[in-house]
Chain A
């Protein structure tokens, strides 16, 4: 199969087209600009819809309309734009509509900067908008993984009738790596019998998140809960590197996991039995990854491009069974492998 050298943002766009994305609605924001630019060029050529909306709010509601009409649809943005989309994401979750939302995260809060960050973890994994809901969140750490996860994101969205988010960052979006577009065997997807396409030959279909009767709304919430539990049981993904004999674990995702991987190699050269747990799904969070190594883990070090957000999930997963340390660089700054290596040594020193 042909290997291409592609930027993360463009590879993601191409993967979306190949995964059958019928329409894109978005509003410009850095650092995800190559993605809509690619789609603006390619979608019309392949008979698909590209529309630059008047705002992120309009874009996510166009996604709502198109998803409700049964189309495979996506939007993309970065932190500030994702904040604007939250109302729509809540509606999508309430009405159980499938779609892909890409967040190429930048430094915050507020307007912040356009450098890589992981400070939207809470927003992505805790819902972000109003009401009890969850979105499946993928955190790729290479361009190839980004591509592979796009196919899965669309499929899982359809299977669970739920938005799926891909959380990237400026480096991943700008980075070029070799990519192979694997023609994966398509999953058996449920027919969209619920879509509003005109009631020809059937009864009326309604897309709504409104349940004025609290008894019915509670039932609806329990139904969502059941779905979320099913996703938690089935869809957790993670990678463990050098885990077989490791005693000291770094936990990191996305681009940060790549830097941590270098730090692990440095630690190994220095005789420290270090390993890496790299969550690929941030929600559902892969707690089992921690259970699997708990018999030999002496301590965990969470490394993030934030003030510490995923560390909450690490602590919940470790559940007091080992000490959990944190090292982070917020605001768009990126740690070096040496920085993380030093933190690994500190963790070892503190845990002996």
Chain B
């Protein structure tokens, strides 16, 4: 088993944290993990991305050329990374921020109105947790309970009151999996 994920969006959308929580959860389930933030010229232009590799074997390169999963939180990220996704892979789109769709007929495309869902929960910042829920629900790469535990771990002690809304957002994302539109090879 090996899952390579690229998560990308604007700075401030919680991209790095989403990746860290995924990596941490996988680590807690005794998988090998690596996480690297944007590097190289990609750092410029206000976009942020991170690469998460999860494997049951020693991880060779932490740098991902062709991801199994792309989480695109905004349009520039979708445009930049969607051509790189492996055939048969998965693209998760935050359609609250993206009006376009990638021209890929050979991958699963998961549309999540994460911004809207987060707003409905009362905090637009938890859109990342909605998307993380969708990713976990679709791939089953880690257990739901492990992720919730990791979310708790990453909240600093003075912000533990934020746990509940993050949990709700994550669960919403998980539950979404029942009714989403899958375009592509599915």
Contacts and interface: CB of A to CB of B under 8 A. Distances in A.
Is B one of A's binding partners? yes
Interface of A: 3, 5, 115-116, 170-171, 174-178, 255, 258-259, 261-262, 264-265, 332-334, 336-338
Given A5-B24, A176-B23, A177-B34, A115 B65 contact: no
Interface of B: 20, 23-24, 27-28, 32-37, 39-40, 59-63, 65
A258 B40 contact: no
Given A171-B62, A177-B35, A337-B60, 20 more contacts: A3-B28, A5-B35, A116-B39, A171-B39, A171-B63, A174-B37, A175-B35, A176-B35, A176-B36, A177-B62, A178-B27, A178-B32, A178-B33, A258-B59, A258-B61, A258-B62, A258-B63, A261-B61, A332-B40, A336-B65
B40 A337 contact: no
B33 A175 contact: no
A50 B153 CA distance: 28
Contacts of A262: 60-61
Contacts of A178: 27, 32-33
A337 B66 CA distance: 10
Contacts of A264: 60
A262 B60 CA distance: 5
A176 B34 contact: yes
B23 A5 contact: yes
A255 B62 CA distance: 9
A240 B59 CA distance: 15
Contacts of A336: 63, 65
Contacts of B63: 171, 258-259, 334, 336-337
A258 B63 CA distance: 9
A258 B60 contact: yes
A261 B40 contact: no
Contact of B61 (A3, A115, A170, A259): A259
Nearest to B58: A261
A24 B20 CA distance: 29
Contacts of A337: 60-61, 63, 65
Nearest to A276: B60
6 contacts: A171-B62, A176-B23, A177-B33, A264-B60, A334-B40, A337-B65
A115 B44 CA distance: 12
A207 B33 CA distance: 46
A135 B20 CA distance: 36
Contacts of B62: 171, 175, 177, 255, 258
A207 to B, nearest CB: 41
B61 A5 contact: no
Given A175-B35, A175-B36, A262-B60, A338 B65 contact: yes
A44 B27 CA distance: 31
A138 to B, nearest CB: 19
B60 A265 contact: yes
Given A5-B27, A261-B61, A171 B20 contact: no
Contacts of B27: 3, 5, 178
Contacts of A116: 39
B35 A115 contact: no
B27 to A, nearest CB: 5
B60 A115 contact: no
Nearest to B32: A178
Contacts of B37: 174
A4 B68 CA distance: 25
Contacts of A332: 40
A344 B60 CA distance: 17
A174 B23 CA distance: 14
A332 B23 CA distance: 26
A3 B153 CA distance: 13
A175 B39 CA distance: 10
A176 B39 CA distance: 14
Contacts of B32: 178
B30 to A, nearest CB: 8
A25 to B, nearest CB: 28
A115 B20 contact: no
A175 B16 CA distance: 12
A334 B40 CA distance: 8
Nearest to A8: B36
B174 to A, nearest CB: 22
A177 B52 CA distance: 10
A178 B26 CA distance: 10
A331 B33 CA distance: 28
Contacts of B36: 171, 174-176
A261 B62 CA distance: 11
Interface centre among B35, B59, B63 (most CB of A within 10 A): B63
A87 to B, nearest CB: 31
Nearest 6 A/B pairs, CB to CB: A261-B60, A262-B60, A262-B61, A176-B35, A259-B61, A336-B65
